[in-house]
Each structure stands twice: as structure tokens, then as C-alpha cells.
Amino acid sequence: MSVSASLRDKLTSAFVPLLLEVRDESARHAGHAGATRDDGSQGETHFHVRLVSESFVGLSRVERQRRIYAALKEELAGPVHALSLEALTPSEAQKAV
């Protein structure tokens, strides 16, 4: 299974998102430390995630991120070098449009 597929599966299971975008931004970091995986291959090391879920209602931005990091602990300890997050409630997502 690809890293992005694993991220999607775990985030879907943990947060039942109304919207989930997982974008591989590894190509933007070519030559940067961490852009190459331990096996020498490129890609699937830098990601941006946009996640909209009811489960974030009442949680601070920091607590939302902590919960996402906990759900993705295996990936963050292994192939994922960098992860940027947008963790929003449905009402916050509507305001952003």
C-alpha cells in the first residue's frame, strides 16, 4: 500500500471526515533533507492534509493536530518526513470557502 493510501485509510477510520485531501508535495522538496526515503526512492515523504470532521468540534488546533499525529504515528516514525495540516470543523471549512 502506498504511503498516501495508508494516510487516507487511517484518517478516514479515525475521523470519519466530511472532506479529506491528501496531497503528496515531495516533488517540491527535491534535494531537501528527508525528500529521499531510506531506500533511496523519491516521493511520499512530504504531505499536506486537509481534513474536515465533526470530531474536531470543541477541540483546539493543537489538540486536533495531536490526534492526527497519534493516528499517523507509524507513518510519522517512518516514511513521512513532513506533514502540514488543515484540521477544520464543518463550520470553519464553510467560512474558508
Q: Confidence class of residue 29 from pLDDT cuts 50, 70 and 90?
A: low
pLDDT reading at 50 higher than 80: yes
Q: Confidence class of residue 78 from pLDDT cuts 50, 70 and 90?
A: confident
Which CATH number belongs to the domain containing residue 34 in this structure? Answer: 3.30.300.90
pLDDT reading at 11 higher than 90: yes
Number of domains in the chain: 1
Q: What is the mean pLDDT of residues 66-87?
A: 95
Closest to 57 in 3D by CA, of 88, 86, 85, 84? 88
Q: What is the mean pLDDT of residues 90-97?
A: 89
For residue 90, give its domain range.
3-96
The Cα 94–Cα 52 span in angstroms is 10
pTM: 0.84
